[in-house]
Structure 1
Amino acid sequence: MATTTATTTTATAAPVAPATPKVANKGRMTASWHTKPSSEWTFHERSLIWLGVATANDPSNPAPAPPVYPKSAPVPVYPVWKMHRYIAPRALGPLLVHHFFTQYTGIQVPVWVATTLYLAYFIVYGTQVFAWNNAMTTKFGTFDGAAGRDGVPDVDTTSVALGLFMVVISRATIAIPYLYEPSAPVLDWYTVAMLPVNCFMFAVAVDFWFYWYHRLMHEVPWLWRFHRKHHTTKHPIAALGAFADHEQEFFDMVGIPILAWLSWRINFATWWVSTCYILFIEASGHSGLRGYFQNPTTWMLRYFDAELCLEDHDIHHRQGWKKSGNYGKQTRLWDKIFGTQKPRIEGTPDNINWDDPMDFPAPVPEEKKE
């Protein structure tokens, strides 16, 4: 795909109006629980606040509304290197600490200790990813921004909170005891050198199995009932990746990762790094963040018009049962090969502004918040 620079500059693409938060939507997606006094929150609602899924309603210091841009406004670019800058240190950090601890002390970390520590870290990492998405969408807005975004529904705060924790817990407690070998080096030069190749291939393998499982749920009538709930949201936020029926959640959390690993075998360290990248893309893919934002492990597919961008899954959610398309999770490779790729609306090649790189917003000093 050609890297065409849009002729319209961001100076002519000012927001048209503040977004209207979906606080009390009609029907199934009504989300007003976070506006109640904190004393009335349930344990799971408190968990969602802690995870950064929602912000407590504070009339004295209301959260800023994200900007809304016309669909013709140039779409800024979030460079791949900035994604690596965010994810790579967080993914490699625990491995390096573990590796050097073992090398310099000679102590082999038992499986149960490694599982517990990596799981705890993965939960913290997940909260950082949600916070990152919230900050970015507040600053840059979302695709189809005039429609606003759905929050976690009042009737599903428990299931979403449990789903988010289970995504992390299930992947860690299944994979780590199987892949981690206390007597083997955590990192070696071959593992590090092959990380780009193996992360790419594992993402493509994840995508192959997800593509067919996802497509079949859309196109086989009796399977749609297991996916219908997830499509109740037409404009999801990052947390609503876990808004699904139990059957879908099980296959997402267990089935797909196992099938992907059987298709492309990787060791523990490579699995850990890949999983940190996959979680980041899964959460961001439901955020609707308005930017040309590729998967950093499969970005090279852009040259074959098969890269995945955030707008692709956002368009998928706006569609109905058999006409959604864009079934991929990590790439558009299988959508392209099997003819289910849908055209982008805002992030078209001639509307991407490569001269406008996005950046993570700087924290607001406390004195400026008052």
Structure 2
Amino acid sequence: MTATWHTRPPSQWTFFERSLITLGVASPDDPTKPRPKPPVYPHSAPVPVYPIYKMHARIIPWAFAPLLVHHFFTYYTGIVVPVSVATVAYLAYFVVYGVSVFSWNNRMTEKFGTFDGEKERDGVPDVDTTSVAIGLFMVVISRSVIAVPYLYNPEEPLLDWKTIAMLPINTFMFAVAVDFWFYWYHRLMHEVPFLWRFHQKHHTTKHPIAALGAFADHEQEFFDMVGIPILAWLTWRINFATWWISTCYILFIEASGHSGLRGYFQNPTTWYLRWIGAELCLEDHDLHHRRGWKKSGNYGKQTRLWDMIFGTMKERVEGTKDNINWDDPMDEPSPVPTQ
């Protein structure tokens, strides 16, 4: 997992390495402007809380913006946006949104540190910068290119009161459906030796960053990007607007789940599961990576519901119930990283 490519002069970066810099995955290592080191805390230090309302406040404007522009454009002009135009527009917007998510995760970890902070986080390795960059783009491209043409119907209202009223239920249920299929596919890759070879590369990183969610073999990437979303939609069918908003939340959780950000940071669409102890926090997937092949557990990535039901839920180390500081809400980092 050696990552030194970002320390080279920019003139020596490949196109894909420049793309990773643009995405906020890494920053140039300028010795004249050293970046601050993230704070390091012992495991016993209280874990601050990132409130649910702040997560919604961060995601909802991004998720609703293109839908509202699209809706009012058609409402006031009478022009119906063709499927091909909608696909390109939502795809381009999703790429911009993805960049904002990675950048936000980087700023948050710089300010608040990471779980198991004594260990340095892995970067994108020199030998795989091209693969990771392509994988990150494919995460957003594949979902938009496949789902928008299928789910978007120009003849139907884009946003209506029923869609908005049912959002809390539908985003919750869709996330639970995604997690059911992901749980079993993920668990089988750990427990069936033949399938482990498709997942082994992803587990080379023990302390990942947000971008390393795309550090995987092509077979795993295909199922992550295409298979799971399709199976989830067949399980809990939702309209285009609900799918779009759900996908914005899912991308946010998937990226943050690999960041290691040290905070009690729940999934904002499924946090209700906290009432039965099945809510997902960032530490859960971080521990999954640290524990490796056979001992990992925590196979869910949107909830811990299926881990609880099927007996694979693992205890947290730092974010235990008696070590969460509810009186210490995490505030937002500055929009531009401190140099």
TM-score under structure 1 normalisation?
A: 0.91
| Aligned partner of residue 353 in structure 1, secondary structure | strand
Answering whether residue 92 of structure 2 is matched by residue 120 of structure 1, we say yes
Cα distance in 1 for residues equivalent to 2:35 and 2:70: 39
Matched residue, 1:21: none
**CA deviations over 1:248-299 (Å, ceiling 9, x no partner):** 0000000000000000000000000000000000000000000000000000
Q: What amino acid maps onto 1:343 in structure 2?
A: E
- How far off is 1:362 after superposition? 2.6
Cα distance in 2 for residues equivalent to 1:331 and 1:323: 19
Matched residue, 1:319: 291
Q: 1:361 to 1:262 in 2, by over 3 A?
A: same
Q: Aligned runs of 1:1-370 on 2, under 5 Å?
A: 29-363=1-335
Q: What amino acid maps onto 1:189 in structure 2?
A: W
Total equivalences in the alignment: 339
Cα distance in 2 for residues equivalent to 1:194 and 1:182: 21
- How far off is 1:323 after superposition? 1.1
* Unaligned stretches of 5+ residues in structure 2: none
Cα distance in 2 for residues equivalent to 1:98 and 1:347: 41
RMSD: 1.0
Cα distance in 2 for residues equivalent to 1:58 and 1:127: 22
Matched residue, 1:18: none
Q: 1:350 to 1:192 in 2, by over 3 A?
A: same
Q: Report % sequence identity.
A: 80
- How far off is 1:363 after superposition? 4.3
Q: What amino acid maps onto 1:329 in structure 2?
A: K
Cα distance in 2 for residues equivalent to 1:322 and 1:349: 26
Cα distance in 2 for residues equivalent to 1:350 and 1:49: 39
Q: What amino acid maps onto 2:286 in structure 1?
A: D
Cα distance in 2 for residues equivalent to 1:44 and 1:63: 23
- How far off is 1:344 after superposition? 0.0
TM-score under structure 2 normalisation?
A: 0.99
Give the ranges of 4+ consecutive aligned residues of structure 1 lying more than 3 Å apart after TM superposition: none
| Aligned partner of residue 227 in structure 2, secondary structure | helix
